[in-house]
Amino acid sequence: MRIAILGAGPSGMCAAHAASQCGHEVTIYDKSPDRSRRNSGIYYLHRDCDLKLDKVWFKQAIFGVHKGIYKGELAYNISEEQICKEYSKKVYGKVLKDISIKEVLYNEEDVAFNANQAVNRLWDLYGHKVAEVEIRNVSDVYSLFGYFDKVISTIPANIL
């Protein structure tokens, strides 16, 4: 299957990698495939995506537990039980009865993978498949459908 990927940022490169690993042929389109600015806004990955990435250990901080249901106002007199309830709804989509306040607020070190390294490795693997083309509107996308079986867009909707 031939797949066009719109955007050569971290999302586009991850999409290209996933499609390639499934045996698909990919071509990536970007208006300015400038490698030096492609790793802004991404810090850690939760998987190494078969890229043999270095592990990174970090302290996890849980933010937003007290907010959300309280419409942005910090609730100072909230019980530990309520914090756990709101956290589990926010993170897991349902109330977990066996989650403790220690797990919510005092999480120990977690392991992630180096995202900057991932971006560099993905560019090493797929940079030669990036074509410099500006997609200005949706009709530009439709013109790709004649050659490609699928089109994956990582371009923000407000730009299209």
**Which structural domain, as residue segments, surrounds residue 69?**
61-107
Q: Per the structure block, which two tokens stand in for 158?
A: 């407000």
Residue 129 lies in a domain: yes
Output the pTM of the full model: 0.66
Q: How many domains does the chain have?
A: 2
DSSP conformation letters of 115-138: HHHHHHHHHHHHGGGEEE----SH
What is the CATH classification number for the domain harbouring 22?
A: 3.40.50.720
Domain membership flag for residue 49:
no
**Ranges in the chain, pLDDT < 50:** 36, 63-64, 66-74
In a domain, 50, yes or no: no
Question: Nearest-5° angle of CA 10, CA 15, CA 17?
Answer: 95
pLDDT of residue 70: 43
What's the confidence (pLDDT) of residue 72? 44
The verdict on 35 and 7 lying in the same domain is yes
Give the H or E element holding residue 92. helix 80-92
On whether residue 68 sits in a domain, the answer given is yes
In-domain check, residue 52? no
Instruction: Give dist(CA 12, CA 152) in Å, integer.
Output: 8
- Would you state the pLDDT for residue 66? 46
The answer to whether position 56 is within a domain reads no
Residue 102 and residue 67 share a domain: yes
Residue 159 located in a structural domain: no
In this structure, the answer to whether residues 120 and 103 fall within a common structural domain is: no
Residues 67 and 89 in one domain: yes
* Integer Cα distance of 17 and 126 in angstroms: 8
Question: Is residue 133 a part of any domain in this protein?
Answer: yes
Please give the pLDDT value at position 5: 93
